[in-house]
Amino acid sequence: MNDAVVAPTIEYGTLAPMLLVFGAAVVGVLVEAFAPRYLRKSIHVPLTLLSLAGAFALVILQVVKGAVPTAPVAMGAVAVDGPSLFIWGVILVLSFVCVLMINDEGHFVASAAAVPGSADEEEAEAAGGSHTEVYPLVLFAVGGMLLFPASHDLLTMFVGLEVMSLPLYLLCGLARRRRLLSQEASMKYFLLGAFSSAFFLYGTAMIYGYAGTVSFTGINKALATGSLLDPILLLGLSLLGVGLLFKIGAAPFQAWKPDVYQGAPTPITALMASGTLVAAVGALLRVFWVALGNMDWDWRPVMWAVAALTMVVGAILAITQTDIKRMLAYSSIAHAGFLLIGVMATFDKTAQNSKSLSAILFYLLVYSLATVGAFAVVTMVRDPGGEAGHLSRWAGLGKRAPILAGIFAFFLLAFAGIPLTSGFFGKYAVFAAALASGSEAGDSLGGWMTGLVVVGVIASAIAAFFYVRVIVLMFFSEPAADGPSIAVPSTGTVAVIAISLLVTVGVGLFPQPMLDLANQAASGLFIR
Amino acid sequence: MESPAEIVQHTAGGMIGASWLMIAFPLLGAAILLILGRMTNRWGHLLGVAMSLASFVVAVLTFLELIGLPADQRRQAVRLYEFIPGMVDMGLLIDPLSISFALLITGVGSLIHIYSIGYMAHDPERRRFFSYLNLFVAAMLLLVLAHNYVGLFIGWEGVGLASYLLIGFWQFKPSAAVAAKKAFIVNRVGDFGLLVGMFIILATFHTLTFSDLGAQIAKSPPSGGAITAIGLLLLLGACGKSAQLPLQSWLLDAMEGPTPVSALIHAATMVTAGVYLVVRSGAFFFPPDSAQALAVSIVGAATLLAGAIIGCAKDDIKKGLAGSTMSQIGYMMLGAGLGPVGYAFAIGHLITHGFFKADMFLGAGSVMHAMNDEVDMRKYGGLRKFMPLTFVTFFVGYLAIIGFPLLSGYFTKDGIIETAVHHQPILGWLAVLGAGITGFYMSRMVFMTFFGEKRWEKDAHPHESPAVMTWPLILLSIGAVFLGGYLILSNRLMDFLAPAVGAPPLSERPEFDPFSTAGLATLALVAVGAGFAWVRYGRAEVPAVAPRGSFLTTFARRDLFGDALNESLFMRPGQWLTRFAVYFDNRGVDGLVNGLAAGIGGTSGRLRRIQTGFARTYALSILFGAALLAGALLLVGNI
């Protein structure tokens, strides 16, 4: 071997946000190991919040300094470009507010190892402890979310995917109430997640077999010269697609979402429904636009069917749900479909692509924040046995807690995309981008894009039905005599709801600054 | 005919660039008061006043900067931000018309804010009252300053909301709650017209921005059915907001709100929004002598008579004033329907009316304040000795509204009447008749309240109101004396407004002529009306209980059977229609919709079974999905 091992160059400055989060997570583990139990929470909370805020500040610093690199960093493993930074910013804000929610007492089990209903559990409950490991786990998951959409080769992306998912599998099983449901959710999420990861890995292997490299730049080059009809490429593409579509919960890979969202502790559900979705859509975009951009002619028709199916399945199945968290899960599936419309709105025109990209980034921002706000409201409506999940318990909430119900109604209207909420502009931007792409000369899908938008509008109408149904239930039904109590919110929860509401209202009235931001982030497209 | 100047994009900063602060200040005030809630109870009213005054200062500074520009530069569009991407930019249009309104709204609005400190002093919810007042001012400013119909519409709905909240402010009174609902619903009819009008504008011109519309119309003057439809639909909108026939019925009931609300919203500002809409759109949509312009004049003339007749029979002082408001806005509409020759007088009357009507409403509030909230004029009498300041200011407002020579109303109303007599003789002479009736019912009000014998309830102890209430009255009455002459003599207002709304050529601008036939006839009729009122209500004893009166009196007392008409024409058939609709809906539509819903629901229910809860099933579905995906890709790739 005459190849000397070269020390890798790592651009620490550019990667600082991610490194800070991972570093804080490692410190968190050390805290778990060495700090006395009674001190742990008071160390973890500031550590976690400060590291997330610091990482956010570092992202802002990079944007302000204009120091966005134009080539992949860390030996071509990570691409920190405009979209990455925007997604990082969004994920860091989301995880910050989710941690505020996690801080609240009563979401997490005292001892996860105790068998539900056993004497051990009672004992742990009486001792009053709780799992402070939650904080480093969340930080690891957030670190994974940062790496996942920014990775520039398939192996780094796989690492990001696993670092993001493994802590989440654990966190899903830590709910304090309805522990069996929570453990079931955790188990299912783990099994299916592992299953889909295997697909991703197998796809990676096939693509490597075709292109001889796992780097996105390399794959892109190989596609430019090689045959696009090679079965090994097509198989690799589809398997890779399965792994990614599973993470965003597109049909027919959506089945895990309702079960997991329902079972997981609500702050974790909020983190998954917002942060994971943002990260996964970012990764999906990078793989399909950067690595596989040259064969959009092949994958766009298939993606068309997936997008249409996802919207329809999400919207229709949501109608018969009776649990608020399951309903929000199906709504999240429908929104994944809307996002896929944006993913579809690409082909070889830079101006068009940056328009679609900015629409998706904007959609991710507004949808994820409204989602976190909605789940924060869900944590506050409580029965003696935990959160009041069943929809019938929400009847008449408008009379018992008008402000809370009003805020929740507002978030639902934002999901439905009613004007003067942020959701309207999100949907408008994505649909408009899809129509614009379809009407450009040279788009192989042409009129089919219009068809997809029509499906999207119909799905929105069906979705609006079940959103409005909840509003009707809250405001026009008589409250039950033994209705749920409204928890007195902690400062953290109030902050979460206030931030989400502010963004949802603010962007609904003044979309321009956020649109500008998304446009700016998308203007340079992805690093190729 | 001098056409309006072109709208220029404002690029320099300055006060005009910062004119959005005018809206931002009261909006911020409303937000703070509503969000912080009870915490602000102690100082909330002061914040409300401060925000309104700040807005007034911005308006004055903007005005000063605007008149510093050359006349053809005085229409400045300020772009704020992109609102609906690719369609509507949020922006403000600062021009002589909008700034006149802004000055009136913030100026009179601030005085009414100050007055309310005293009037609402004993109300535990005073802070909430001020938050709504601030919200109203912000919405009204958006309405008049917006540079496109979308912004105008948001403001339009905003004032509707504020008006609803304020009419129903004392919601524990069922009558107030019902009145608020009625105002809201009647306004919906008008809003519907405005909305459909906007749709047709968008479909015809592909824009809703004033500058783009102006440019398009200047290029190719529009004609045809669409323009007529736009004009009539906008008129419907204007009728709703300005309480013109046939949508007048809500205004009288709206007097259930606290009196400062009646003064600010239902006399001085909001109800004039219809006139604003007609004048603002008039520059675009009313070709001279068109059918829709005539419709505006006819509506105006009919309403000015109807309002005057209603005013004659009301014993409730606020309802009397509400009738007169309807009537005076009828004059403005009549003027606005005459085109650019009438605009200056319509706007001039609108401004002076804002002053003297606010003055009289607040005066009425001051009287009610002194008389334990009694509103029945038959239980007043002889109050001039007990409330001298209120009496003098009210009397000045009264002289102004009946058009006593050299006071404000004399110049502006006479301008409308003479222009109308010149261009639409029939409507013009009806307006002269209306002026005579005005002389009668306003005199009746003054005599019943301030002259004659005491007819008070036993526990009434009238007293002058505190200074915080009387100072606004004094300032308003000063405006009621001098403003009209200042605006109308030597056509000051017409020249000022010309860049915004157009005007007759310089040589044809009217000279003020105090001795024209119509002017003299008006004065004579007013004198006859006032004299008749003196005989009936000043000299003679006023019975404490209203006499039954003739059919005509009943007719007027019951608002010209407006409510009865609405009930039999709209409400009952409406109820039948709803009953039929419900029947049809249950049998026909529901069959279809329920079928569809059941179809979707059934699909949903069936699909739901796929969600078995078993991880193995899910994994299988993923496997199937993967197989499908791979198969499809191989297929697509090989076609």
pLDDT digits (tens, 9 = 90+) for B254-267: 888 888 888 888 77
- pLDDT greater at residue A215 or residue B296: A215
Q: Is B622 on the interface with A (CB under 8 A)?
A: yes
Q: Is B599 on the interface with A (CB under 8 A)?
A: no
Contact call for residues A256 and A330 (beta carbons, < 8 A): no
Show the tokens assigned to B272: 């004039």
Q: Which residues does chain A have within 8 Å of residue B615's beta carbon, measured at their own beta carbons? A: 187-188, 191-192
Task: Tell me what percent of chain A is helix, strand and coil, each rounded to the nearest 5.
Answer: 75, 5, 20
Q: Which residues does chain A have within 8 Å of residue B605's beta carbon, measured at their own beta carbons? A: 320
Show the tokens assigned to A423: 């959701």
Show the tokens assigned to B520: 């003299």
Contact B84 A428 (CB under 8 A): yes
CA distances for B210 relative to B128, B206, B284, angstroms: 35, 12, 9
pLDDT tens track for A120-169: 888 877 776 677 889 999 999 999 999 999 999 999 999 999 999 999 99
Q: Which residue is it, tokens 């991972």?
A: A22
Contact B625 A237 (CB under 8 A): no
CA distances for A236 relative to A157, A219, B90, angstroms: 15, 12, 49
Q: Residue B562: CA atoms inside 13 Å, Cβ hemisphere, count?
A: 23
Contacts 24+ apart (CB under 8 A), A108-116: A108/A134, A108/A174, A108/A175, A108/A176, A108/A265, A109/A174, A109/A175, A109/A176, A109/A179, A109/A182, A110/A176, A112/A173, A112/A174, A116/A179, A116/A180, A116/A183
Contact B619 A195 (CB under 8 A): yes
Show the tokens assigned to A33: 């190991």
| Among B85, B608, B634, beta carbon nearest to A234 | B634
Contact B633 A299 (CB under 8 A): yes
Nearest alpha-carbon partner for B338 in B299, B293, B305? B293
pLDDT tens track for A396-417: 888 888 889 999 999 999 999 9
Q: Is B635 on the interface with A (CB under 8 A)?
A: no
pLDDT tens track for B307-366: 888 888 888 888 888 888 888 899 998 888 887 888 888 888 888 988 888 888 888 888
pLDDT tens track for A188-224: 999 999 999 999 999 999 999 999 999 999 998 998 8
Q: Which residue is it, tokens 């310089």?
A: B506
Under DSSP, is residue B79 helix (H, G, I), strand (E, B) or coil? strand
Q: Which residues does chain A have within 8 Å of residue B85's beta carbon, measured at their own beta carbons? A: 425, 428-429, 432, 511, 515
> Domain limits of chain A?
12-522
Weakest mean pLDDT among A105-119, B384-398, B533-547, B576-590: B576-590
**Cis preceding-peptide flag for B505 (omega within 30 of 0):** no
Indicate the DSSP class of residue B77: E
CB burial string B426-443: b at 16+ within 10 A, e below: ebbbbbbbbbbbbbbbbb
CA distance B327 to B598: 55
Show the tokens assigned to B98: 């909008």
pLDDT tens track for A341-398: 988 887 667 778 888 899 999 999 999 999 999 999 999 888 877 788 788 888 888 8
| Among B81, B621, B638, beta carbon nearest to A510 | B81
Chain B interface test: which of A317, A366, A505 (most B C-beta within 10 Å): A317
Q: Which residues does chain A have within 8 Å of residue B89's beta carbon, measured at their own beta carbons? A: none
Q: Is the dihedral of CA A474, A475, A476, A481 positive or negative?
A: positive
Mean pLDDT of B539-557: 67
pLDDT at A410: 93
pLDDT tens track for A52-91: 999 999 999 988 887 778 888 888 889 998 899 999 999 9
Asked whether residue A1 carries a pLDDT value surpassing 60, the answer given is no
Mean pLDDT of B568-578: 69
Nearest alpha-carbon partner for A18 in A71, A75, A79? A79
pTM for this prediction: 0.68
**Measured between alpha carbons, how far apart are the two ends of chain B, in Å?**
70
Nearest alpha-carbon partner for A150 in A77, A94, A244, A249? A77
Q: What would you report as the CA-atom Rg of chain B, rounded to the nearest whole angstrom?
A: 28
Q: Is A317 on the interface with B (CB under 8 A)?
A: yes
Q: How does the average pLDDT of chain A come out, rounded?
A: 88
pLDDT at B108: 87
Q: Which residues does chain B have within 8 Å of residue A237's beta carbon, measured at their own beta carbons? A: 633
pLDDT band of B547, cuts 50, 70, 90 = low
| Among A238, A429, A511, beta carbon nearest to B629 | A238
Q: How many CB atoms lie within 10 A of CB A125?
A: 15
Contact call for residues B332 and B319 (beta carbons, < 8 A): no
pLDDT at A162: 95
Residue in chain A nearest B619 by alpha carbon = A192
CA distance A318 to A325: 10
Contact A255 B611 (CB under 8 A): yes
Q: Is A423 on the interface with B (CB under 8 A)?
A: no
pLDDT band of A473, cuts 50, 70, 90 = confident
Asked whether residue A510 carries a pLDDT value surpassing 60, the answer given is yes
Contact call for residues A421 and A414 (beta carbons, < 8 A): yes
Q: Which residue is it, tokens 């000015």?
A: B304
Show the tokens assigned to B375: 């509103």
Weakest mean pLDDT among A434-443, B269-278, B397-406, B432-441: A434-443
Asked whether residue A319 carries a pLDDT value surpassing 80, the answer given is yes
CA distance B133 to B155: 14
Residue A275 Cα, gap to closest chain B Cα (Å) = 23
Instruction: Name, in order, each residue with C-beta under 8 angstroms of A9's C-beta and a sequence gap of 6 or more.
Output: A74, A75
Which of residues 165 through 224 in chain A touch B, CB cutoff 8 A?
A: 187-188, 191-192, 195-196, 199
pLDDT at B3: 74
Contact call for residues B408 and B355 (beta carbons, < 8 A): yes
Q: Which residues does chain B have within 8 Å of residue A239's beta carbon, measured at their own beta carbons? A: 626, 630
Contact B611 A241 (CB under 8 A): no
Q: Is A241 on the interface with B (CB under 8 A)?
A: yes
Mean pLDDT of A46-55: 95
pLDDT tens track for B51-104: 999 999 999 998 888 888 887 888 888 888 777 766 778 888 888 889 989 998
Q: Is the dihedral of CA A344, A466, B609, A275 positive or negative?
A: positive
Q: Which residues does chain B have within 8 Å of residue A305's beta carbon, measured at their own beta carbons? A: 632
Contact B600 A316 (CB under 8 A): yes
Q: Which residues face B78 on adjacent strands?
A: B92
Contact call for residues A91 and A275 (beta carbons, < 8 A): yes
Phi and psi, residue B376, nearest 5°: -80, 115
| Among B604, B611, B629, beta carbon nearest to A258 | B611
Residue B171 Cα, gap to closest chain A Cα (Å) = 17
Q: Which residues does chain B have within 8 Å of residue A188's beta carbon, measured at their own beta carbons? A: 615, 618
Q: Which residue is it, tokens 């027919």?
A: A252
Instruction: Name, in order, each residue with C-beta under 8 angstroms of A386's C-beta and a sequence gap of 6 or more.
Output: A176, A177, A178
